[in-house]
Amino acid sequence: MDSILVTGNGPVNGEIPITGAKNACLTLMPATLLSDEPLTLTNAPRLSDIKTMTALLGSLGAEVQPLQGGKVLAMSSHNVESQRAEYDIVRKMRASILVLGPLLARFGYAEVSLPGGCAIGARPVDLHLKAFEAMGAELELKDGYVFARAPKGLRGGRVEFPFVSVGATENALMAATLAKGTTQLINAAREPEIVDLAQALRKMGAQIDGEGTDTITIQGVDRLGGATHQVVADRIEMGTYMLAPAIAGGSVELTNCSVDLIGAFIDKLAAAGVEVTPTENGVRVTRTADRVRAVDVITEPYPGFPTDLQAQFMAMMCTADGTSVLEEKIFENRFMHAPELLRMGAQIEVHGGTARVTGVPQLKGAPVMATDLRASVSLILAGLAAKGETLVNRVYHLDRGYEHVEEKLGAIGAKIERVTGS
């Protein structure tokens, strides 16, 4: 298993290009199942999660051809012959559940194993299933699989989510494009990845209104066509690398992205005393003070502070001046990075969904264990500010969501290398 070795090396300076969003790509890829015409994605990230989705779509009979080294995905679901998503693939990635809506909508039938994914809480899929029921599907849970049927096709319905779910909104949105009549998604997620999906579906011929607000209205159509779509920039990759100069000092410009994707996070960086300036093609982040200030954070659905940046922000708070309180409201078990940060000399107390972090002037390098995708990168960021060597083990989590992390951080002067394991 590979590890990443980071040696604290002072300030970072330079430029990092941001790639297409993993989470957008993981919902845009299953959208190909809605049509028998080609869907081509540009600006796709090269990540193991994308390979997992490629394998899943392939197992159904869809073709996914990676072009330009994987930056372009040319997909066709002309020859889909299976509507069964097997446990062996689905268990690797929770986003696999996103094939359920498209399969059910186009073929009237789907069998999908219940998903696995990052170990950050129970993460059920009940909201996805309730949405399909509201559209007339009959569901059965048997042997760890969901069997979904709508022999006469889905029909439009009113889907009211009791709380915001990104995945359930995406699944329901895709399914509703081919349902008979009008569907309303109420209390829908507003993430930029939802907006990106709606834009791609519209290019395929779907009739959608209200994406980016909490009510999305979809007028079902008989069929969808092909399209080419550029995947939106990855706001989580962007936020992660914004924290590199904030933690280590220095000034870094992130390109191919936009500050509009990441509102509440920027406010918190500014409150911590970090300078954030929009540029023509992205954003520049500069730390001028010796230490950042402690800032409290509560994770919330978009446009609130993203749970996917909580671990990285905690890494920054570990060296802040003062005590901060980080409250995790989206996932019940998402502080697994805290004990690892403690190994590096951080002062953190976790009580349920709340972490109290008292900044120390200097972290110390240590061997640590990556427990999930965002936790892994938070340990790398902490390593940038630590004295000595930090060896982050189990980095396969990292490869699920960060393209070329060593090259990108290396390019801004970080001392970071991959240690290939057996």
Q: How far is the CB of 106 from ligand UD1 (least distance, A)?
A: 21
Q: Is 309 in the site for ligand UD1 (CB under 6 A)?
A: no
Q: How far is the CB of 43 from ligand UD1 (least distance, A)?
A: 17
Strands 250-255 and 282-287: antiparallel
| Burial class of 276 by CB neighbour count within 10 A (0 to 12, 13 to 18, 19+) | middle
DSSP class of 165? -
Binding mask 256-295 for ligand UD1 (x = CB under 6 A): ----------------------------------------
Strands 207-209 and 215-219: antiparallel
Helix boundaries (H) for 119-162: 126-134
Which of 1, 10, 79, 126 touches ligand UD1 by CB under 6 A? 126
Q: Which is nearer to ligand UD1, 45 or 245 (CB)?
A: 45
**Near ligand UD1 by CB under 6 A, which window of 39-47, 126-134, 392-400, 410-418?**
126-134
Helix axis angle for 166-176 and 100-107, nearest 10°, is 10
The CB density around residue 278, as the number of other CB atoms within 10 Å, is: 12
Q: Which residues from 90-109 bind ligand UD1, rule CB under 6 A? A: 94-95
Q: Which residues contact 349 (CB under 8 A, 6 or more apart)?
A: 355, 356
Q: Is 50 in the site for ligand UD1 (CB under 6 A)?
A: no
Q: Which is nearer to ligand UD1, 35 or 96 (CB)?
A: 96
CA distance 184 to 158: 5
Q: Which residues from 146-175 bind ligand UD1, rule CB under 6 A? A: 165-168
Locate the DSSP E strands across 239-378.
Answer: 250-255, 274-279, 282-287, 297-298, 323-327, 347-351, 354-358, 363-364, 367-369
Q: Which is nearer to ligand UD1, 130 or 202 (CB)?
A: 130
Q: Is 307 in the site for ligand UD1 (CB under 6 A)?
A: yes
Q: How far is the CB of 375 from ligand UD1 (least distance, A)?
A: 12
Q: Which is nearer to ligand UD1, 177 or 307 (CB)?
A: 307
Q: Is 112 in the site for ligand UD1 (CB under 6 A)?
A: no
Q: Is 184 in the site for ligand UD1 (CB under 6 A)?
A: no
Locate the DSSP E strands across 50-168.
Answer: 63-67, 72-76, 84-85, 109-113, 138-142, 145-149, 158-160
Q: How far is the CB of 139 from ligand UD1 (least distance, A)?
A: 13
Number of chain residues interacting with ligand UD1 (CB under 6 A): 20
- Give the H/E segment covering residue 5: strand 3-7
Q: Is 335 in the site for ligand UD1 (CB under 6 A)?
A: no
Q: Is 26 in the site for ligand UD1 (CB under 6 A)?
A: yes
**Near ligand UD1 by CB under 6 A, which window of 6-14, 81-89, 121-129, 175-183?**
121-129
Q: Which residues from 55-94 bind ligand UD1, rule CB under 6 A? A: 94
Contact 400, 47 (CB under 8 A): yes
Which of 92, 106, 128, 337 touches ligand UD1 by CB under 6 A? 128
Q: Which residues contact 114 (CB under 8 A, 6 or more apart)?
A: 90, 97, 125, 141, 144, 145, 146
For 131, 150, 177, 179, the CA distances from 154, given in Å and listed in that order, are 11, 6, 10, 5
CA distance 75 to 65: 6
Whether 318 sits among the annotated catalytic residues: the reply is no
In the complex, the residues that contact ligand UD1 under the rule CB under 6 A are: 23, 26, 94-95, 121-128, 165-168, 307-308, 330-331
Residue positions annotated with a catalytic role? 118
